[in-house]
Amino acid sequence: MSLEVIILAAGKGSRMHSHLPKVLHKVGGKEILRHVIDNASKLNPEKIHIVYGFGGNIVKDTIGGDYDYVMQKELLGTGHAVLQALPNCRHDSKILILVSDIPLITGETLNALVNSFGEKGVAVLTSVVEHPSGLGRIKRDASGKVTAIVEDKDCTPEEKLINEINTGVIAGDYESLNELLKQVKNNNSQGEYYLTDVISLACEKNIPVSSAVSANSKECEGINNKIQLAEAERYYQKRLAEKYMTDGLILMDPSRVDFRGNLEFGANTSLDVNVIIEGNVKLGNNVVIGAGCVLKNCTIADDSVISPYTVIEDSEIGKGATLGPFARFRPGCVLGEQVHVGNFVEVKKSKLANGTKAGHLSYLGDSEIGENVNIGAGTITCNYDGANKWKTVIGNNVFVGSDTQIVAPVTIGDNVTIGAGTTVTKNVEADNLIITRAPMRTISGWKRPEKKK
Ligand code: UD1
Ligand code: CA
C-alpha cells in the first residue's frame, strides 16, 4: 500500500504570543514545520499534504516545496483539518497524520506506527510522560487495547491521572479514516471536530485499532509555548551533539555548542565552547575552532586553527590557516594556504593567496592580494568613494607598512615596499618603494601651551 502524509499546520499557536504562525518558529535554525516534513520524508511517502490556515500564505511562501498545500478556512479542529486534505489522497493508500508541532520525532518511530496495522485500521502513537497535563489521554480496556482518546479539557478527574498520552500522530487507511471522520461530532468542551475521536468510533464500528508506544517520550514532546520551544531546542542540540561525537567530532562541552545547519567534519577536529554553526559548514581534518566562534556557510581546510571569537561567513579558508582571535570574514573571502589573519582584522570579498599575513587591526575589502604579502597593522583598503565600490589588487611579496591607506581602484605590482603611513592613490610598478610620509622635523626647545588660570 502506498503512503501519504497529512501535516496539520493551520493553527495559530496562541500560546506562542507571536504574529508568526507557530510552525514557522525555528529549532536548530530550521522551521518547526520543515523538521516535520523532513521526518515524514524519511518514510518516502507518495505525497505530503500540508493543511495551512492561520497567517494566510506565509506558511506556504516560507516553506515552499513540491507539497500539496490545502487551506483550512475556518479552524474547526484537527478532525476538520484532516478532512480538508483527505479528498486529495489516493483511496487505496495508508495515511499518516502529523500535528505540526512535534518536530523531533524520528523516522523509525513513525515507521513503527505505520507498520502497526495492515490493510485496514487506525493507529495512534502514544507516549508515557511525567506531566500529561494539556494532552489527550489514552484509554485502554482490560486487554490493553486502545479504546479512546480523551482530550485534557474533557477528562474526568480519574482520566486526568492517566499518563499515557496521544502524541498527535495518527495513521489509518484512507477508507477507514474517511468513513470515521465524517461521523466525528463537535459536542465537546472546545466545540471542535477532534481527529482523536476516530479511535472510539473505530471501536464502535469494529475497525481494528492499533498503537505504538514511543520509546523516547522526549522526541514526542509538542511545542505550544516559548518554554517548550527552548526545551525542544536543547533536546535537539543534545541529540545532534551526541551524533557528531559518535562520528568523531571533539566537543569540549557538548552542552555549550549550537548547531543551526549542517556540519561536515574530518578526523581530529574540535570545537571549543560557545561555537555556533549555521548553514552549511565543512571542516577538514585537524581543524581547531576556538571558543565563541560563529561559522556560517563556510569551508575550512585541514590543519587550520581558528582562535576565539572569530566570525566567518560565506567564505573559503585554505589549509593551515591561523585566524583570530577576533577576526571577521564577511561574505566572499577566499584564502589560500597558510594564511594568517589576526585580531581586529575585517576582510570582505577578498582573495588572500598562500602565505599572506594581516596580523592586526586592518580592513581589507574588495581586494585581491598575492602570495607572501605582509599587511601591516592599521592598513585600510579605501574601497568606497561614497557611491561605488572599487577594487584593490596587490601583487606577490608586497610589504605594506603600518597605517597605509590604499585608495581604490589601484594596482600594486610584485615586490613593492610601502612605507608606513603611506596613502596610495596611484598604481605602483613592481619592485619600487613608495612612501608619502612627510619628512620628520625636530623643533627644539618646544614649549607646550599652559593651562589658563
Ligand atoms: C492535539 C491532540 C491531543 C494531543 C496533542 C499532542 C486533538 C484534538 N488533540 O492537542 O490529543 O495530545 O495534540 O501534541 O487532536 N490544527 C489545524 N486545524 C485546526 C486545529 C489544529 O490544522 O482546526 C493543527 C495545529 O496547527 C497543530 C495541530 O493541529 O499543529 C494540533 O493542534 P493543537 O491545537 O496544538 O492541539 P493540542 O491541543 O495540542
Ligand atoms: Ca499542540
CA of 108 to the centre of ligand 2 (A): 21
CA of 143 to the centre of ligand 1 (A): 28
For residue 12, the model assigns a pLDDT of: 83
Asked whether the beta carbons of 26 and 235 are under 8 A apart, the reply is no
9: left (phi over 0), alpha (psi -120 to 50) or beta: alpha
Asked whether the beta carbons of 352 and 329 are under 8 A apart, the reply is no
- CA–CA distance, 110 with 100 (Å, rounded to integer): 14
Q: Among 103, 96, 109, which residue's Cα sits nearest to residue 34?
A: 103
- How far are the Cα atoms of 106, 225, 384, 419 from residue 400, in angstroms, in the given order? 56, 56, 20, 7
Q: Among 436, 394, 446, which residue's Cα sits nearest to residue 415?
A: 394
What's the residue count for the chain? Answer: 453
Amino acid sitting at position 292 = G
Q: Which ligand sits nearest to residue 220's alpha carbon?
A: 1
Asked whether the beta carbons of 316 and 334 are under 8 A apart, the reply is yes
For residue 133, the model assigns a pLDDT of: 94
Atom 19 (ligand 1): residue with closest C-alpha?
77
Residue to substitute in 99, 162, 187 for testing ligand 1 pocket (most ligand atoms within 8 angstroms of CB): 99
CA of 122 to the centre of ligand 2 (A): 20
Query: What does 352-394 look like in DSSP terms, one character per residue?
Result: E-TT-EE-SSEEEESEEE-TT-EE-TT-EEE-B-SS-B--EEE
Tens-level pLDDT at each residue, the chain (453 residues): 899 999 999 988 899 999 999 999 999 999 999 999 999 999 999 999 999 998 889 999 999 999 999 999 999 999 999 999 999 999 999 999 999 999 999 999 999 999 999 999 999 999 999 999 999 999 999 999 999 999 999 999 999 999 999 999 999 999 999 999 999 999 999 999 999 999 999 999 999 999 999 989 999 999 999 999 999 999 999 999 999 999 999 999 999 999 999 999 999 999 999 999 999 999 999 999 999 999 999 999 999 999 999 999 999 999 999 999 999 999 999 999 999 999 999 999 999 999 999 999 999 999 999 999 999 999 999 999 999 999 999 999 999 999 999 999 999 999 999 999 999 999 999 999 999 989 999 999 999 999 999
Residue to substitute in 6, 78, 189 for testing ligand 1 pocket (most ligand atoms within 8 angstroms of CB): 78
Atom 28 (ligand 1): residue with closest C-alpha?
99
Partners of 173 in beta bridges = 94
Give exposure, 58-96, as e/b (b: 16+ Cβ within 10 Å): ebbeebeeeeebbebeeebbbbbbbbbbbeebeeebbbb
- CA–CA distance, 129 with 219 (Å, rounded to integer): 11
Asked whether the beta carbons of 277 and 258 are under 8 A apart, the reply is yes
Partners of 258 in beta bridges = 276
CA of 1 to the centre of ligand 1 (A): 27
Q: Which ligand sits nearest to residue 134's alpha carbon?
A: 1
CA of 167 to the centre of ligand 2 (A): 9
Atom 2 (ligand 1): residue with closest C-alpha?
168
Atom 20 (ligand 1): residue with closest C-alpha?
77
Q: Among 414, 436, 416, 433, which residue's Cα sits nearest to residue 425?
A: 436
Select which of 49, 80, 340, 360 is catalytic.
360
The ligand 1 atom at the shortest distance from the C-alpha of residue 75 is 23
Residue ranges of domains in the chain, CATH in brackets: 2-220 (3.90.550.10), 240-434 (2.160.10.10)
CA of 90 to the centre of ligand 1 (A): 24
Atom 1 (ligand 1): residue with closest C-alpha?
168
Query: Is position 19 annotated as part of the catalytic site?
Result: no
Q: How many CA atoms lie within 13 A of 446 on its CB side?
A: 5
For residue 13, the model assigns a pLDDT of: 87
Q: Which ligand sits nearest to residue 194's alpha carbon?
A: 1
Atom 5 (ligand 1): residue with closest C-alpha?
168
Residues 33-56: tens digit of each pLDDT = 999 999 999 999 999 999 999 888
- How far are the Cα atoms of 268, 291, 305 from residue 286, in angstroms, in the given order? 5, 16, 9
User: Which residues form ligand 1's pocket by a CB distance below 6 Å?
Assistant: 8-11, 51, 72, 75-78, 80-81, 99-102, 135-136, 149, 151, 165-168, 194-196, 222
For residue 55, the model assigns a pLDDT of: 86
Query: What does 292-334 look like in DSSP terms, one character per residue?
Result: T-EEEEEEE-TT-EE-TT-EEEEEEE-TT-EE-SS-EE-SS-E
Q: Which ligand sits nearest to residue 198's alpha carbon?
A: 1
Asked whether the beta carbons of 398 and 353 are under 8 A apart, the reply is no
The ligand 1 atom at the shortest distance from the C-alpha of residue 197 is 8
> What grid cell was written down for 138?
489514552
